[in-house]
Amino acid sequence: MNGHRHPLHCILPPYMQREIIENGTEEQRRQCLRNYVSAEAMRTQREIIAKEGPSDLTMGVVSAGLNRVIYTADNGSSLPGRQLRGEGGAPTGDPAADEAYDGAGATYDLFYDQYGRDSIDGNGMRIDSTVHYRVGYDNAFWNGRQMVYGDGDEDLPESQRLFNRFTIAVDIIGHELTHGVTQNTANLIYQGQAGALNESMSDVFGALVKQRLLGHTVIEADWIIGEGLFTSKVNGLGIRSMKEPGTAYNDPVLGKDPQPGHMRDFVQTTADNGGVHINSGIPNRAFYVAAYNLGGFAWEKAGQIWYLTLKSKLSESSTFAMAAAKTYEAAAELYGVGSLEQRAVRAGWAEVGIEIDAEPGTPEPPPNNGNARPGCGGSLMGLFRSLIGAD
């Protein structure tokens, strides 16, 4: 091959296509006709999508930009199910379907507007979501290709219901979609510390979707994942607290929120793939503290640092210590070595018991007295914020 593009792999003007079909070799004619048919199919598909939204007959051609399809499993388990709404389609009136649609859009917007990422795979991948999965399904998940949401405890007597539908909280939608982003970037193994990082990344960007929708600063945000998911029967704010891991709920039926917020409380377990939903509390709090120290909107600086880390710096088997080092490195790349942003990241990880070796010449951060927590009067973090003028 001499490196120049084969002419028949280009988009040829009609007069040239005619020439080839009339005068070319058999193979050239066949190739040209294949390309012509393929181009016509793509053009027709774009017309259909523009008019009606994607159908089950789409040939898998993906156009850049937001492209959502919402399905219902009709309380069964076949995926993706029956299409309810395509991109640009009118609201259905089904709360779960419309929440899945809007939440996917808000998540896409965060990644695209803030971080320049075009959908889950960075290439405009269609975002598929299925609602009404099974009966009494108190869960939501990412199956490697799409998001899936259950309706909670709708099958139980009213007095026994603990969970609402899982589309009710936009951060849950952001959480699930972010699993797709992680799969297409660092691809963190869903086990142990790497799995807990995987979970934490989903909580981080899920929380940022919610905060951005609400326009909340780091101080105004509640830092609760899944607020609104519990029914009034449950004694709890939500599923997890990024600000104070272990405090999201304490309920006679559900038990107590098991998340640790410091490495000394790391949970060794074989359940839950080595506690991926439990130990994610540690990197969650590290993000919260870093974001709190930076002030303003968390999706800006802190989110940018975490996104760069996820996209370009982590490996499949990254540990918490590696993530700490890489977020520190990302902060230096974005804002400079020794910058306030870099020091805020270091303070975040130090708060959860993970020290990052400082670069030579980097000013040492204030000592951690072990009792200071963001939000408390006279705290270390309050001092840090006043020093950097973040308030």
Strand 240-241 relative to strand 250-251: parallel, antiparallel, unpaired? unpaired
Nearer to other proteins, 251 or 333 (CB): 251
Nearer to other proteins, 275 or 374 (CB): 275
Nearer to other proteins, 50 or 156 (CB): 156
The CA distance from 205 to 111, in Å, is 9
Rg (C-alpha) for the chain, rounded Å, is 24
Q: Is 179 a catalytic residue?
A: no
Shortest approach of other proteins to residue 15 CB, angstroms? 47
Shortest approach of other proteins to residue 299 CB, angstroms? 22
Q: Tokens for 342?
A: 């870099």
Shortest approach of other proteins to residue 143 CB, angstroms? 5
Shortest approach of other proteins to residue 203 CB, angstroms? 10
Which of 277, 329, 341, 351 is flagged as catalytic?
277
Shortest approach of other proteins to residue 176 CB, angstroms? 7
CA–CA distances in Å: residue 271 to residues 17, 95, 231, 276: 62, 33, 26, 9
Q: Tokens for 275?
A: 């506690």
Residues forming contacts to other proteins in the complex (CB under 8 A) are: 77, 136, 138-144, 153, 155-156, 160, 166, 172, 175-176, 179, 183, 187, 190, 198-199, 202, 226, 239, 253-255, 258, 271-273, 275-278
Q: Is 6 a catalytic residue?
A: no
DSSP 143-204: -SS-EEE---STTS-GGG--B--TTSSHHHHHHHHHHHHHHTTT---SSHHHHHHHHHHHHH
Nearer to other proteins, 28 or 187 (CB): 187
Strand 82-86 relative to strand 68-72: parallel, antiparallel, unpaired? antiparallel
The CA distance from 359 to 337, in Å, is 8
Which of 87, 99, 132, 176 is flagged as catalytic?
176
Nearer to other proteins, 163 or 335 (CB): 163
Which residue has 């001499």 as its token pair? 2
Contact yes or no for 185/310 (Cβ under 8 A)? yes
Just list the catalytic residues. 176, 277
